[in-house]
Copies of this chain bind each other. A is one copy, B any other.
Amino acid sequence: MKFCNQCGQSVSQRIPEGDNLPRYVCDQCQTIHYQNPNIVAGSIPVIGDKILLCKRAIEPRYGLWTLPAGYMENNETVEQAAIRESQEEANANIELEQLYTVFSLPHANQVYMMYRARLLDEDFSPGIESLEVRLFDENEIPWDKLAFSTIYYTLKYFFEDRARGDFLLRSHPVEKMT
């Protein structure tokens, strides 16, 4: 950030009075510009024993597989964001069941919130951000071609919990994928 989005003048980094972190503050109008993490909302769409995955048509991680997920927008709920992403990326009709994983990614300033979901029918197809969308049995999951560590953990916990017959909310930080 170099300029104030309110008045167009230059900004500089300093700790505002009563604060304890450096912020971008406008040299002219004194507006403080806070920067905060974004929520990535998504789902694990399940039909029968199968899971819906999307092959990414965009960077980062072009060509790798992911669960439908994306940035939550203003004026919507986390649940609406998760449903919208399944529609945008896979033209999929889902019904949310349970908030299932909550992962903080402090290196990326993101918080993932993934829901277990029922895929209501097999009438799905690639959205503009997907090259391919298909159903996977557990033994078909492309573990070495997953786009993000958050997706890896979500799927890993899902199959563990499904085998045990009890789905627990999983919440922990996720380190940068190496």
Give A contacts to B, CB under 8 Å: 1-11, 18, 20-21, 24, 33-39, 71-80, 88, 99, 102, 104, 106-107, 109, 111, 113, 128, 169, 171, 173
- B7→A2 contact, CB < 8 A: yes
Q: How many copies does the complex hold?
A: 2
- A99→B169 contact, CB < 8 A: yes
Chain A, interface SS category = loop
Complex Cα spacing A171 to B5, Å: 34
- A78→B111 contact, CB < 8 A: yes
Q: Which of B73, B104, B107 contacts A79 (CB 8 A)?
A: B104
Residue in chain B with minimal CB distance to A72: B37
Contacts A3-B3, A77-B106, A78-B111 supplied; 17 other A-B pairs, CB < 8 Å: A3-B7, A3-B8, A8-B8, A8-B9, A18-B128, A20-B88, A36-B39, A36-B71, A36-B72, A36-B73, A37-B39, A72-B111, A76-B106, A79-B173, A80-B104, A80-B106, A99-B171
